[in-house]
Structures are given as C-alpha cells and as structure tokens.
Amino acid sequence: MSQPIFSTRVLVLMAIGIALNMALGQLVSLLKLPVFLDSLGTMLVAVLCGPWIGGLTGLVTNLLWGLIQGPTVAFFAPVAAVIGIVAGLLARAGLFRTPIGAAASGAIIAVTLAFIAVPIRIYLFGGVTGSGADFLIAYLTKVGQDLVGSVIVTVITANLADKIVTALLVWGIIRGLPQRTASDWPFLAHSRD
C-alpha cells in the first residue's frame, strides 16, 4: 500500500520549508545582500520529498510571501517552483550525494531559473526589484552594458553563488540526518550513499 503524497509529515515539512525560505529571504532583503538564500527550504523539501512537492513548496512560499510583503515576490513564484522541481530531479539523479554533486546541482538550478527570472525581472520590473542584486545591474548599465545584458549577468551571477551555497547547505543538512530519520524519506535514498 502506497503512502499518500500529502501525508501529515510532508505537509509539516513543507510548512517548515516555507518558513525557512521566508525567514532567510527577509534577513537577506533587510541586509541588501547580492544573494537571496530564500530557497533553502524549497531545496531541502525537494531532496526529501521529490520534485513536485519541492516545486509546490517554492510556489506557495512566494505566493504567501507576496501577500505579506507585496506583490513583487509573488511574481517570482514560477522561479521558486522551478527551483524545487529541478532540485528534486537532480536529487533523484543522485547529484546531492557529494559536495561536488551538490555544487553542480546549484549551478544547474541557477542557469535553469535564469530562463524564467530574466524575462520577469526585465518585462515586469524594468530590471529593478529592490534586491541587493540591483546594485550590480545599476553598475553594469552605468559602464555601458544594455539593460538585458546587465540583468542576464546579474541574475546568473547572483544565483550561481546563491544556489551553490544553498545546495551545499542542503547537502550538509542531509548528511547530518540520522540514518533512522533518513530511511523515512523515500527520495533521500537518492541523495545518500
């Protein structure tokens, strides 16, 4: 007999992931850092529960956060969903087994999400969203780079650093789980030796 997709423990883990995303995102926003760190909960849920639950965690995070903080964050909900889906697929493929695999996962996630984040940032916000990454966009446009090029460079650069660090943190958390706990999560078998 298979377990329901949305068991109580999955819903609790999603709630923890959403809270973690929002808390880290708020901290980074207040400090105006050029990274985001607002997808750690999404990636962790994706590694533990799979790509679709991870994607849903990212999507719900941004929609709820948009209701609380303002609509800017909600417009990036598709980006957050892609982060969860791709992280879950990469975990399923075994890339979260080693720190090198986790770092590679972070890079793959960063490049993938750029295809969605760049058009949102340019066409909905003119390249400026109020994040710390805006400083790099302003600098690049000031030295002669066009807006599209500035946004592409900024999104990929900021997300490369952010998603690699986030993926490595998720790898560390997963490695630190007791074996008894790890055996309770079916997708975790793909992320541990």
Spatial contact of 38 and 71, defined as CB atoms under 8 Å apart? no
What Å distances lie between residue 61 and 50, 104, 115, 150, 170, CA to CA? 17, 24, 20, 27, 17
Spatial contact of 154 and 135, defined as CB atoms under 8 Å apart? no
If we measure between CA atoms, which residue out of 21, 50, 57 comes closest to residue 191? 50
Give a yes or no: residue 21 inside a domain.
yes
Model confidence band, residue 1 (pLDDT cutoffs 50, 70, 90): very low
Give a yes or no: residue 25 inside a domain.
yes
Give a yes or no: residue 105 inside a domain.
yes
Both structure tokens of 90: 């990469």
Give a yes or no: residue 2 inside a domain.
no
Map tokens 């302003």 to a residue. 138
Give a yes or no: residue 181 inside a domain.
yes
Residue 109 maps to which CATH number?
1.10.1760.20
Number of domains in the chain: 1
Give a yes or no: residue 1 inside a domain.
no
Give the tens place of pLDDT for each residue, 58-102. 999 999 999 998 898 899 999 999 999 999 999 999 999 999 999
What Å distances lie between residue 190 and 66, 83, 125, 186, CA to CA? 33, 18, 39, 8
Give the tens place of pLDDT for each residue, 22-62. 999 889 878 877 678 899 999 999 999 999 999 999 999 99
Give a yes or no: residue 94 inside a domain.
yes
Give a yes or no: residue 3 inside a domain.
no
Domain that holds residue 69: 8-190
Give the Cβ contact number of residue 98 at 10 Å: 14
